[in-house]
Chains A and B, each alone.
Chain A
Amino acid sequence: MQIENIELIELFMETVCDVTEEVKQHSTIRAATKTITLTQQLGGKLDVMEALADQYENGGEIKLALATRRLANALRNPDLLLPVEQESHTRILEYVYPVV
């Protein structure tokens, strides 16, 4: 069962919109140039997004850390399971570059 689109939009507004200003103020982005193991990527956390949230927090991006944890938590909700196959099939058929 999928949750309604309106709930997705609410999730978007409550999490992502709240961190716009903070993200714009942080201009330093860590380059991805080194190969790492899954252990290093997880950094002792249960999943990648939780580990990423810790990195944000350590870098002073408190709101972004909070938003990322909320998203990670939301993704654990089985109702949020999205029709991945269908979604990505349309990537190829439509005129959208799949930047996400």
Chain B
Amino acid sequence: MTDVPDKTVLGISAYFHDSAAALVCGNRIVAAAQEERFTRIKADWRFPSNAIDYCLSEMPVGTKLDAIAFYEDSSKKIDRIIRNAATNAPRGTVLWPKTLSTLNVLNTTLPQELTRILPDPERIFFTPHHRSHAASAFYPSPFNEAAILIVDGVGEWATTSLWHGQGSDISIIRETRFPHSLGLLYSAFTQYCGFKVNSGEYKLMGLAPFGEPLFKKLIYKQLIEVDPEGDFRLNLEYFDFASGTNTISPLFYKLFSYPPRNPDEMITLHYMNVAASIQSVLNEVMISQANNALRLTKSKNLCMAGGVALNCVTNTKIARHAEGLNGIWIQPAAGDAGGALGAALDVACLLNGAAFNKSNTNPDGMSYANLGPAYSPDIVEESLKNHGLVWESYIDNEAALIEVVSQVLQAGQIIGYFDGRMEFGPRALGNRSILADPRPKDMLQRANKKIKFRETWRPLAPIILAEQEHELFETPLLDPYMLFVSQLKKAFHIRPDLKALRARGLSELPQYLNRATSEYPTVTHYDYSARTQALTKAANPRLHAILTHFYNSTGCPMLLNTSYNVRGEPIVCSPEDAIKTFLNTHLDVLVIGPFLIKRSEQDSNINNQIGKRKFHAD
């Protein structure tokens, strides 16, 4: 790190979805967290008072808050909302109450909330939505120069934008505007396939490998027009998001000959094929966008953010196929939460001027996304006492804890693992995780049915020793953030594979279940892909030691690593959350800081609490 000025900026995202706060001091990211983790309301959109309080509590000694950066230009967003309403009128009446309430929030509530923290309007900044994403993608990246590609649903007007980052400067190259949006296009298919918009996009991506892209030509012919430069336009006749309460219009259903899937209905081959088709289209359009970004900036590096950059299948296609690409870096908090961080970085750069030095920390400026709150052993112990739990303490003997945890995993037990600072972004990367041995054939069913309570056809992700990833996967990208997929080597495949299963005429999703296609069925999908997290010692020394012990004992260098929550619940934040989720599920063991809690050693009444806490399914 070079000497940096110490201007301290609080970034805020709010009033859409995934509100968050971030604190930046000079070019250093001090803290960042999503509001949902504190309020326990998934994707909480409200003003992030709790996340702000947390970030301000991390203010370095001797510094003061110099500025606030909001992640959107609310004036431009109001402009888009009013123009959109006017353009579609008299259609859109049904959205009018919502429209007015949003206008009221942006016009009145937001300035009030911001000036309550910092009364001086000269020190409150509004960074445009895509500029916030672009700053979050470039400034923490390992590159001093890069093309920046931002793709999401919508912010103010932009839905896709290309930027060029050089040193402490980012500049716009071009943008595509609402209502033409790749994010909204993907969300439309998410709804059509029976998943919830804004949370079910991962499921659509996970469904795609089961199908064939039979509708790809139809999508290109009727729904999206793409020019050779990669720019695109949607055929708005088929969409309803601009003026209705649906993302898709009846014409959309007719185009695909079937109505939208009811969420309670079985997933049939038709919806698998639709999912495969839109995933294939997204891959192609995004590769084209990436090529365009590299060509226009004459860069060999690419940075990405925006909600679409959480599609790890597409990201991998770009990494493998974009022309002339040397390096790719994606902001792990690529969605709107990351906008808080980007806005803070952008304003820190603005305030510090030429003195702002872009972070050159290895491997990036994100501290492995460990930017949230941590809790002392005293606080953890107090929570354990309050719940009347029995625990083992390894407070002065980490080596013994590492060995015990490895042994528990080898015995096939499932662990809730809580340690250090909470991760920023949608992924649990080993500090708020559920861990297990990925080899037992029933582990996916056990984890999904008894702990996560989610669909059993969705694979979980692996955390793997970075040094060993090449043993199991083809030319891995060694990503620490689960933003790409790796392909399992053929030596670990099991017949029949997905193609053979499909050839047998399997037309409904349940028919695929319990048919392992690899030696690691818990963490590889039916197409042998896995959303791997490559773990280095620098990223998480204790977990790296546990995984190394596990590897030395079993020959398997990876563990199942899924977020520590149940379906519909935000990832746990505090020890209290971790204990409640432990009590609410069939987790066998809880490791929380230096303490280990075994379910088998607790009072016999402990199992009475399983399943008592309910969350809205995502």
Contacts and interface: CB of A to CB of B under 8 A. Distances in A.
Contact of A52 (B79, B99, B114, B124): B79
Nearest to B175: A31
Contacts of A97: 153, 184, 187, 197-198, 241, 247
Select the residue from A35, A37, A93 with max chain B CB neighbours within 10 A: A35
Interface string B585-598: 00000000000000
Contacts of A16: 82, 85-86, 89
B124 A37 contact: yes
B197 A87 contact: no
A48 B107 contact: yes
Contact of B95 (A11, A81, A94, A100): A100
Nearest to A42: B121
B105 to A, nearest CB: 6
A1 interface: no
Interface string B154-171: 111110000000000000
B604 to A, nearest CB: 37
Given A16-B86, A23-B86, A95 B246 contact: yes
Contacts of B43: 92
B124 A99 contact: no
B87 interface: yes
Given A31-B158, A41-B73, A97-B241, A20 B103 contact: no
Given A48-B107, A87-B101, A92-B17, A68 B82 contact: yes
Interface in A25-68: 29-39, 41-42, 47-49, 51-52, 64, 67-68
Given A87-B98, A100-B81, A38 B124 contact: yes
Contact of B128 (A29, A35, A88): A35
B103 A71 contact: yes
B121 A85 contact: no
B199 interface: yes
A51 to B, nearest CB: 7
B607 interface: no
A59 B199 CA distance: 40
A35 B197 contact: no
B609 interface: no
A20 B86 contact: yes
B107 A30 contact: no
B121 A37 contact: yes
A82 B104 contact: yes
Contacts of B114: 38
Contacts of A12: 85, 89, 92-93, 96
B98 A64 contact: no
Contact of A51 (B45, B75, B96): B75
A97 B83 CA distance: 18
A80 B105 CA distance: 12
B74 interface: yes
Contact of A32 (B17, B73, B96, B121): B73
Interface in B94-123: 95-108, 111, 114-115, 121-123
A21 to B, nearest CB: 9
A9 B93 contact: yes
Nearest to A51: B75
A27 to B, nearest CB: 11
Select the residue from B89, B90, B122 with max chain A CB neighbours within 10 A: B89
Contacts of B199: 92
A39 B123 CA distance: 9
Contact of A98 (B17, B76, B131): B17
A52 B78 CA distance: 9
17 contacts: A9-B93, A32-B73, A37-B124, A37-B126, A38-B124, A38-B126, A39-B122, A41-B126, A42-B121, A64-B83, A75-B107, A81-B104, A82-B100, A82-B101, A97-B241, A100-B81, A100-B85
Interface of B: 16-17, 41-43, 45-46, 69, 73-76, 78-79, 81-87, 89-90, 92-93, 95-108, 111, 114-115, 121-131, 153-158, 172, 175, 177-178, 184, 187, 191, 196-199, 241-242, 245-247, 343, 346-347, 350, 616
